[in-house]
Amino acid sequence: MKSPDPAIAIVYFTGHGHTRRLAEAVAEGAAPARMIDVESMSDADWAALDAADAVVFGTPTYMGSSAAVFDGFLEEAASRWEDQLWADKIAGGFTVGTYPAGDKLSTLIRLAVYAAQMGMIWVGPTEIGPPVNPDNPGLNGDGSNLGVTATSSRDKDQLIDAGDLETARRFGVRIRAACKRWTR
């Protein structure tokens, strides 16, 4: 029988901190969640991924797709594909780009297709912001529905603007709720 408290892993690559900041916001919403930086993965991190009820993937958008370092992680984890060892885990994704469009959708599609190949259950965000819902100022400013996207903040101390952080936090809450529904 599954644990009543789902195990959630947020696995990410960051070049300059923006994607890590977004990952922290997802983790805050999904708490407790394990943050895993693909550049410093331990055996315990791999074990946590294999045991997780949900894995949320995060990468900056580089040249309209996921970053090469993150792709390296995805390819290593593909050793779990043949036996579908990650099947039925909840999955989701987030990305950051310099531009509001920035071809970030292409990155999310790449992550969602990867999750599908792994037999995972993809969950997107559910926030509707302005102008359709003016009561949600700053939420889902990109109008992204496949996953969470953020645009690098012009404030270098902030990295990610408050609205995008709140969108990511709510996505974390949704991932935890989806785990509870899927594993009950």
Residues that bind ligand FMN (CB under 6 A): 14-19, 60-64, 96-99, 102-103, 152
Pick 96 or 108: Cβ nearer ligand FMN:
96
Q: Which residues contact 4 (CB under 8 A, 6 or more apart)?
A: none
Q: Minimal CB distance to ligand FMN: which residue?
A: 102
Say which residue the tokens 């949704």 belong to: 174
Could you tell me the smallest distance in angstroms from the CB atom of residue 179 to ligand FMN? 25
Q: Are 48 and 35 in contact (CB under 8 A)?
A: no
Minimum distance, C-beta of residue 85 to ligand FMN, in the bound complex (Å): 28
Q: Taking the complex as a whole, how short is the minimal distance between the CB of residue 25 and ligand FMN, in angstroms?
A: 13
Nearer residue to ligand FMN within complex by CB, 86 or 94: 94
Shortest distance (Å) from residue 92 CB to ligand FMN: 17
Q: What kind and span of H or E run contains 76?
A: helix 68-77
Closer Cβ to ligand FMN, 160 or 178, answer by number: 160
Distance of alpha carbon 144 from alpha carbon 124, whole angstroms: 9
Nearer to ligand FMN, 29 or 149 (CB): 149
DSSP annotation string for 56-68: EEEEEEETTEE-H
Q: How far is CA 15 from the centre of its chain?
A: 16
